[in-house]
């Protein structure tokens, strides 16, 4: 264990403002950061009811013995470890801290957390192996969703749990929407990427809803961003993750589409599940 420490000028300021009535020099290491005369030492002796207070050669008051030669530095190290735990994720890194303090540590933790949130989708890119059999094929999807050609936008499901689903849409030049979007420059409409995500998420939501037949209806789309074009020949990976437990038929999900290791679009989707 490494005790807290303070500088003598900080101790004097606290004394002047009557802020350490319950304090004692045995509670902390007091680092002497300025010349101290006998009058000041006598005042400290009186305040803290000590027979003798003096400055040791190492530069701190003689109120206690250091447990380690670098005990203040160890205390600062523990502060860094504790403050960075606020990130909420395990950190494997070499961190160099120059004169760290709680405020700067917390600001640094916020920067790390924002970076992790911003790049989380890169870490969680689904792996697609076409040699592996799908969890759900097209025939099962047709039994689950009411969508039919030309609006069936999920070819198969390759990963599934109680909180997420990963589907695949193989984009070919024969897609009906390429006739007009755009002649000579075929690009999959962004709204159809969102629709494909919604259909993929619908499979997960319906699976979690128990027996019976269900339909899903959009309620809201938030934070939608398109980052990469989807063109003929692309294999579009559809990933949907539950953002909250399904309550009263309301389903909130975070959706991301990928081509390879690049994010094509992302959005927060809210839908209602209705039993037929």
Q: Which one is catalytic: 121, 147, 164, 181?
A: 181
Distance of CA 109 to the CA centre of its chain: 11
| CA distance linking residue 234 with residue 172, whole number of Å | 7
Separation of alpha carbons 36 and 221, rounded Å: 66
Which one from 9, 102, 121, 147 is the annotated catalytic residue? 102
| Of the candidates 34, 41, 32, the residue with the CA atom closest to the CA atom of residue 60 | 32
147 flagged as catalytic = no
Q: Is 102 a catalytic residue?
A: yes
In the DSSP assignment, the letter for residue 233 is T
| 206 close to 273: Cβ distance less than 8 angstroms | yes
Q: Residue 39 to residues 46, 48, 165: CA-CA distances in angstroms?
A: 11, 14, 74
How many Cβ atoms sit within 10 Å of the Cβ of residue 115? Answer: 11
Distance CA 154, CA 145 (A): 10
Q: How far apart are CA 48 and CA 120, in angstroms?
A: 53
Give the three-state DSSP class for 213.
coil
* Spatial contact of 202 and 263, defined as CB atoms under 8 Å apart: no
Helix ranges (DSSP H) in 49-101: 71-84
Query: Which residues are catalytic, by number?
Result: 102, 181
């Amino acid at each position: 264990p490494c005790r807290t420490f303070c500088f003598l000028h900080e101790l004097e300021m606290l004394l002047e403002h009557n802020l350490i009535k319950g304090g004692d020099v045995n509670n902390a290491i007091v680092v002497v950061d300025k010349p101290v005369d006998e009058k000041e030492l006598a005042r400290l002796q009186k305040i803290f009811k000590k027979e003798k207070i003096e400055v040791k050669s190492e530069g701190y008051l003689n109120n206690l013995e250091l447990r380690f030669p670098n005990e203040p530095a160890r205390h600062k190290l523990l502060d860094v470890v504790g403050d960075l735990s606020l990130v909420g994720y395990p950190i494997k890194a070499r961190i160099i801290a120059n004169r760290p303090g709680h405020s700067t540590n917390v600001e640094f933790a916020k920067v790390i957390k924002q970076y992790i949130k911003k790049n989380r989708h890169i870490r969680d890119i689904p792996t697609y192996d076409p040699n592996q059999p799908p969890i759900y094929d097209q025939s099962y999807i047709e039994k689950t969703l009411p969508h039919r050609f030309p609006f069936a936008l999920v070819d198969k499901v390759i990963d599934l749990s109680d909180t997420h689903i990963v589907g695949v849409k193989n984009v070919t030049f024969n897609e009906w929407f390429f006739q007009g979007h755009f002649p000579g420059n075929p690009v999959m409409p962004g709204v159809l990427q969102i629709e494909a995500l919604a259909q993929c998420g619908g499979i997960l939501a319906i699976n979690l809803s128990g027996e019976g037949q269900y339909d899903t209806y959009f309620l809201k789309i938030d934070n939608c961003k398109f980052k990469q074009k989807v063109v003929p020949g692309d294999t579009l990976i559809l990933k949907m993750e539950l953002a909250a437990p399904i309550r009263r038929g309301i389903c909130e999900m975070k959706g991301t589409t990928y081509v390879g290791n690049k994010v094509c679009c992302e959005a927060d989707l809210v839908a209602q599940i209705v039993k037929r």
